[in-house]
Amino acid sequence: MTPKMHQFELRVYYEDTDLAGIVYYANYLKFIERARSEMIRAQGIDQRALKARAGVVFAVRHLQADYLRPARFDDSLTVKTGVLRLTGARIALSQRIFRGEDRVFSATVTLVCLRADGAPTRIPAEIRQKLTGTHE
Domain count, the chain: 1
3 vs 20: CA distance, rounded Å? 35
Residue 82's H or E segment, with its range, is strand 76-86
The CATH number of the domain where 43 resides is what? Answer: 3.10.129.10
Catalytic positions: 18
pLDDT at 134: 54
- The answer to whether position 99 is within a domain reads yes
Spatial strand order of the sheet with 102-115 comes to 6-11, 76-86, 90-99, 102-115, 56-67
Q: Are 83 and 43 in contact (CB under 8 A)?
A: no
Positions in the chain short of pLDDT 70: 1-3, 134-136
pLDDT at 4: 76
- The answer to whether position 86 is within a domain reads yes
- The answer to whether position 100 is within a domain reads yes
Quick: pLDDT tens for 52-81: 998 999 999 999 999 999 999 999 999 999
Q: State the residue range of the domain holding 114.
A: 6-132
Q: What are phi and psi of 76, to 5 degrees?
A: -95, 120
Q: Are 101 and 94 in contact (CB under 8 A)?
A: no
- The answer to whether position 1 is within a domain reads no
